[in-house]
Amino acid sequence: MDFSKLKYISTDVPTTDELELLNESRVRIAQVIRARWIILGILAAYGVVPYVLFQYYSIDLSSVTTLQCVFPVLAWCAMATYNAFFLYSYQWFANIRPLNQIQLLLDLLFVTVVIHFSGGAVSWFWPMYLVVTLESVLVMEKYSDTFAFALGASLAYGGLLQFEYYGIVPPVSMPFENLSLQQTLPYGVTKWAWVTMTNMSMAAIGVFLMKTIRDREEELRKLVIKDNLTVLYNRAYFFYRLNSEIQRAKRYNRALSLLIMDMDDFKRFNDRYGHLVGDQLLRVLAGTIRSNIRYSGGKPSYELDIPCRYGGDEFAIILPETNTAQAAGVAERLRKEINLKCGHEMMAPIQAATGSHPMEIPTVTVSVGVASFPEHASMTEALVKAADDAMYVSKRSEKNKVVISETPTPPPGTSPLAEGGPRVSTVREKPPFRPEMAGGLHG
């Protein structure tokens, strides 16, 4: 069995996405803990307030046994104890994926115990199953898990009624209730069917509402972090993610590289074919970038390299787990693919915009600057400047080539460019490409 699937982080060097998933897990666990305190408070109030009222009005409670009072209190204390344990230790266990499922199973057990000691088939506490189902709606990653818990509640309640009916578990008497109903099979079946249908309906409604909320949250998130034209990440997210990856690289002593590329003569292209066609070229170029890095927008999504639109016709690609030579290989491959494919893909948009077939295939080239952590810079702004300056070296010379920054890492407390700016080297041939980290996308 692959136990790594039971964890959000299964390696010694987690990715930023894994760290974000771990943080989301901690948030969900904290939600369960807070919800459980609310449930415990309601149950405590429900136990204390009626007792005070019964004593005030001198109601006969002789039918309530000591066991009925002691066992629910012990169950309440046990639930409060493990909830307090999770409250102060969940940060340590948040990496375990099934942790929320384990907590909710304990909640189902607790609710079933309380229902038994409050009358079983005639208990008023069965709606607590709905509360557990709502908990699962809020915290489960998969919607199917919510229906699984609703089904689990149905089976737990049905099993309890069967045990009480056949005397496997002695039924418990309660004041104000018709105790003969506990031994009436049609009533038990009807009550079980009602609880099951209500709980499954609650699960279905909750899943629908939560899916709607999460879909809208995802749409809003994309609006915040994605560029509307190219659907790549925007400049703000680029700096956030680059800083996160640099901190990760520092913590785990890993390599990290950055590519900054700028389209050559893009203004001339816009002047010749129009800005709408220029926008289409930016989309085509963005698609070419996505198809040549470790990135997939499918379900489930796969993202290791982070493609961003840095400026108007300028793009940036963050390459985690990638040294300088490997990054240069990626840059050279992208440069060749863009030069080879983008012009051909623009033939149809140009013809649609101009009304005539182009006499020649437009030339689309990019200049690319490469910089790596910690070789060329150890801070976010310095790494961006090193890659940007290397790109401008290409722009000022032949264009359509990859330039590697050779800025030495300065001593602590000095400027990254204190020695007169970056030296650069030009990639003439494709260097060794990234090995197994590339998977099938960079092969």
Q: pLDDT, tens digit, for every residue of 276-301? A: 999 999 999 999 999 888 866 655 55
Angle between helices 185-225 and 143-165 (to 10 degrees): 170
Q: pLDDT band for 133, please (50, 70, 90 cuts).
A: very high
Query: pLDDT at position 209, please?
Result: 93
HSE (side-chain half, CA atoms, 13 Å) at 239: 7
- Token pair of 243 as six digits: 């800083």
Mean pLDDT of 92-120: 83
Using CA atoms, how far residue 346 sits from 215, 279, 309, in Å, is 33, 11, 20
Give 169-228 pLDDT, tens digit per residue.
888 877 777 778 888 889 989 999 999 999 999 999 999 999 998 889 888 888 889 999
Lowest average pLDDT, out of 142-146, 285-289, 345-349, 436-440, goes to 436-440
HSE (side-chain half, CA atoms, 13 Å) at 360: 3
9 contacts: CB under 8 Å, gap ≥ 6: 18, 19, 22, 95
Query: pLDDT at position 437, please?
Result: 41
Single out the residue of 264, 392, 251, 404 nearest to residue 327, CA to CA: 404
User: Residues of the chain with pLDDT > 70: what percent?
Assistant: 84
Give 295-331 pLDDT, tens digit per residue.
666 555 567 899 999 988 999 999 999 999 999 999 9
340 pLDDT higher than 50: yes
pTM, whole model, 2 decimals? 0.68
Query: pLDDT at position 417, please?
Result: 40
Lowest average pLDDT, out of 7-11, 216-220, 244-248, goes to 7-11
Give 356-414 pLDDT, tens digit per residue.
777 788 889 999 999 999 899 989 999 999 999 999 999 988 888 999 987 555 555 54
Mean of all residue pLDDT scores within the chain: 82
Query: pLDDT at position 438, please?
Result: 41
Query: pLDDT at position 403, please?
Result: 92
Query: pLDDT at position 428, please?
Result: 43
Q: Is 163 exposed, middle or buried (0-12, 13-18, 19+ CB in 10 A)?
A: middle
Lowest average pLDDT, out of 6-10, 31-35, 209-213, 417-421, goes to 417-421
Question: For 267-322, where are the E strands, in sequence order?
Answer: 295-296, 302-303, 306-309, 314-320
Structure-derived torsion over alpha carbons of residues 249, 321, 218, 32, reported in degrees to the nearest 10: -60
Q: pLDDT band for 434, please (50, 70, 90 cuts).
A: very low
Query: Which has the higher per-residue pLDDT, 418 or 55?
Result: 55
Residue 152 · residue 109 · CB < 8 Å: no
Query: pLDDT at position 222, please?
Result: 83
152 pLDDT higher than 60: yes
Query: Which has the higher per-residue pLDDT, 107 or 432?
Result: 107
Query: pLDDT at position 385, please?
Result: 94
Query: pLDDT at position 55, please?
Result: 76
Query: pLDDT at position 315, please?
Result: 95
- Give the sheet arrangement for strand 402-405, strand by strand: 306-309, 314-320, 256-263, 366-373, 402-405, 424-427
Give the long-range contacts of residues 374-379, CB within 8 A, separation 24 or more: 374/249, 374/250, 374/409, 375/323, 375/324, 375/409, 376/324, 376/405, 376/406, 376/407, 376/408, 376/409, 376/416, 376/422, 377/407, 377/409, 377/416, 378/246, 378/250, 378/409, 378/416, 379/246, 379/416
